[in-house]
Structure 1
Amino acid sequence: MSDSDKYPADSGRRRFVKGVVGGATLAGVGTTGAAAVNTATFSSGKGGGSTQAYAIENTAGPAPRGMPIIPIEIDGDGFIKGIWPETQTLSQGGVEVQLAQVDDFKGTGITYSQDWFQYCGVQSYEGLQPDFDSDNYFRSDAGKYDWQQETYSSGDKLNIADFDDYAEWGNDIGQAGLGKPATGTWRSQDVENVIPIQVLRSKRIEKAAQDNDFLAAATDQGVLAWLNKCTHFCCVPGYKQSSDAAKFNAEDGVYCQCHQSVYDPFSIVQTLFTALPRPE
């Protein structure tokens, strides 16, 4: 891997969902190279290949791209769940594969697929099998925040009512009032490998969703979620979890302590990458 691949130039872009609006332009970038990679990808497993995902933007550090968001919905009792697409049988590279994918997500024209999450080894996790039996609710892990440890036991479903103070919440890291976070797992009950997620409820997310069809479809009541695996070396970053983040101007972003990658949860962009195939 070249240095330019490991440490891409800082684009200076810090915006919320402008990448969604301009995503069609990105789709044509690097298409020839991606197709060449796909030929090898299809032969080594199930699915994978050139993928356009929506992600919280990587703004600093060695991570090559953002972390993919997980579209969510909130049920009648206030519990938060990730949306899992229906399983289809598709032909990819001349091979029929089972893939959880919806081609027109909630009428937005966006293809939402499990391919968004097939990197960093997650493609081999039980929870990412298209037909894995799960209710798709987000469940608390041990908790990275004091409020979460006081409210939940590990395995409890996250509930919107516990985020009621999201417009004021703070923990002495960065600016208070930007949003209230929690950490947890998704599609990971009774399995060895858990899928780590992070959720954030924010007024800024609520406002942005009013002006963008995809974000309105992928969030609910100001709640945004993403797969919490750094795209650099697969560490688990955190939003307002480390006082060291301030050294890298990341106190109000998502910061990975392993190698100082930084992500902006208030900037949703479209990313083009090669999703790894699920093992045979």
Structure 2
Amino acid sequence: MTGEDDKYPKSTGRRRFVKGVVGGASLAGVATAAAAGVNATTAQTGAGGGTTQFMAMQNTSGPAPRGMPQIPVEIDSEGYLKGVWPEVKTVNQGGREVTVAETEMGGVTYSSEWFQYCGVQTYPGVQPDADQDNYFRYTGNSKFDWQNESVSEGDKIHVDDFSDYETWGNGIGQSGLGKPAQGMWRSQDVPPSGRMPIQVIRSSRIEEMAKEDDWIGASTEEGFIANLNKCTHFCCVPTFKGLAGSSVASAEDMIYCQCHQSVYDPFNIIKKSFVALPRPGGE
């Protein structure tokens, strides 16, 4: 594209979409909204959909309709990071017995329905009883040089990889604010198109927040916080301190989605609600 068609200079980091791609994404958004609306009034084929409250990294700017869902973190005895998966149980929903993953923690009902949007509801790992070990694993071709140079795709994320989190910087925004990594969750032996993308940040700010807030205290550990890394606008994969072009949105110290310039604050976790899409197939 050239001239007036190239509305977003390379420095913004915003991707250039041809009309066909944008049109297809728009239709997908319409279909998603329609499915959500139907789910609110009927019992669809599938399970586990409907209005749900969730804890989110707040959306502060851009077209995203809501924040990205947080993933509670735990660390095993060897220092490897895991995403907490809710308790699997059978409940009655709309007159049907369905399998759900749901548990109470930090005064919040944590559910697998938090992650049922952007097509993730079709991914193998979001099934409540999927046979996954819940470890966070690194992805390849990360936005972060340290990750590309120090670890390999598929390696489990370890505490020691973040030992410099209080001073780490990459020339984007403020150094010492936190050290990020890109990864996947509940996705081993799953094709790339079905892997659940996640982002992990270790920050002293999270350690301080955990002292004052019951949910943060229960859902983070040793300063680690994580989120399902799917922008709630058009399902792109954003990053924290991963793109110099984030400066155009004053997002150098935020999570920035380069596709349409949505911005999320990883240090402001709020309760929101949305209509989770049902998982395919009935129980």
Range into which the TM-score falls when normalised by the shorter chain = 0.7 to 0.9
Q: CA deviation at 1:39?
A: 2.2
Amino acid at match of 1:219: T
Asked if the contact 2:39/2:277 (under 8 Å) is kept, the reply is no
Asked if the contact 2:121/2:277 (under 8 Å) is kept, the reply is yes
Instruction: Indicate the SS of the match to 1:220.
Output: coil
2:81 corresponds to which residue? 80
* CA distance 1:249–1:139, shift in 2 (3 Å): same
Amino acid at match of 2:242: Q
Unaligned runs of 5+ in 1: 1-33
1:208 corresponds to which residue? 209
1:124 corresponds to which residue? 122
Amino acid at match of 1:84: W
Asked if the contact 1:54/1:268 (under 8 Å) is kept, the reply is yes
1:68 corresponds to which residue? 69
C-alpha separation between the residues in 1 aligned to 2:107 and 2:172? 38
2:174 corresponds to which residue? 175
C-alpha separation between the residues in 2 aligned to 1:218 and 1:83? 8
1:198 corresponds to which residue? 199
What fraction of aligned residue pairs are identical, expressed as a percent? 58
C-alpha separation between the residues in 1 aligned to 2:68 and 2:44? 26
2:21 corresponds to which residue? none
2:19 corresponds to which residue? none
Q: TM-score, normalised by structure 2?
A: 0.84
1:113 corresponds to which residue? 111
1:276 aligns with 2:268: no
Asked if the contact 2:39/2:49 (under 8 Å) is kept, the reply is no
C-alpha separation between the residues in 2 aligned to 1:73 and 1:215? 12
Q: CA deviation at 1:144?
A: 2.2
Residue-pair matches, total: 243
Q: TM-score, normalised by structure 1?
A: 0.84
C-alpha separation between the residues in 2 aligned to 1:140 and 1:212? 29
2:58 corresponds to which residue? 57
C-alpha separation between the residues in 2 aligned to 1:56 and 1:50? 18
Amino acid at match of 1:254: I
2:263 corresponds to which residue? 262
Q: CA deviation at 1:137?
A: 0.4
Question: What is the alpha-carbon root mean square deviation over aligned residues?
Answer: 1.3
1:185 aligns with 2:184: yes
Instruction: Indicate the SS of the match to 2:40.
Output: helix
Amino acid at match of 1:135: D
C-alpha separation between the residues in 1 aligned to 2:163 and 2:88? 35
C-alpha separation between the residues in 2 aligned to 1:58 and 1:179? 19
C-alpha separation between the residues in 2 aligned to 1:109 and 1:249? 33
